[in-house]
Amino acid sequence: MTRQLFCFALLAPALCLAGFSSAFAQVTTAVAKPSKPEHTFNSFQAAVQKDNVRQMVALVTDDTRAAMAFQLLVASSYLKSFTDCPSAKLTDEQKKATEDMQTVLKKHGITEKMIKQSADAPPVDPKNPEATMKVIRDIVKSIKDPTAFVVEYSSAISKFTKIGGTKWADATLKDVKVDGALATAMLVYKVGETEKSEPVSFKKVGAVWRLEFPLDALQPQPTDKPVEKPKK
């Protein structure tokens, strides 16, 4: 029992990360070019609602996309620790998903060293987020196509665990303020019956506004759904 609980403790962070990436599943090729921050928000929200990862990734800055790839590497570390537990009883679907995840990692040249570096990386320093971002860039810089990696690994990991959720699906955007190539706004959403809000940032890249998430904002909203243990 102790070992079983230990295995699920290892899996929990991966399930948390998968919550955000579980919104990443299908792929489309047409992506609008938002000319206002509000357009970017509307397009991103529509992509979340349709489980369209490629459009989501197309609407964020390069640093946010790198952070998404980084968090999936962290998730892969936790998932490997879980699946390697002798007491972890995986369903056939989970075994297939595990194989698919390994295939994606190999396809994109993800090494054990990169995964370990991601898992061992220090937590986000709120006083110096750029230092954390530099670590992330250094780790993921060898991924030639980070968009494809995020799309494909998110699809595989969502088949391993079906839980998760994101506050973006039903949120609203308020108080948009533009200052040159930067913009800020408030994301308003509900957790249960409680209304919450948090700042969100945009950056203009060329003629297109893109979302730029603080590193800690990529964490998913807690779900009230129970964690399903692997079937014995």
The CA distances from residue 126 to 10, 23, 61, 135, in Å, are: 25, 26, 19, 14
Q: What is the DSSP letter of 214?
A: -
Q: Is the pLDDT of residue 225 over 80?
A: no
**33 vs 211, which has greater pLDDT?**
211
- Amino acid occupying residue 170: D
Cα separation, 79 vs 99, in Å, equals 12
Residues 6+ apart with CB under 8 A from 93: 159
Q: What percent of the chain has pLDDT over 70?
A: 75
Least confident window among 92-96, 148-152, 183-187, 213-217: 213-217
Backbone angles phi, psi at 182, to 5 degrees: -120, 150
Is this prediction's pTM over 0.85? no
HSE at residue 49, side-chain half, CA atoms within 13 A, is 9
**Does the pLDDT value for residue 88 go beyond 60?**
yes
- Rounded to a whole number of angstroms, the CA Rg of the chain reads 18
pLDDT digits over 142-186, tens only? 999 999 999 999 888 888 765 445 688 889 999 999 999 999 999
Sequence-separated (6 or more) residues with CB below 8 Å from residue 97: 156, 157, 159, 160
Residue given tokens 């409680």 in the structure block: 194
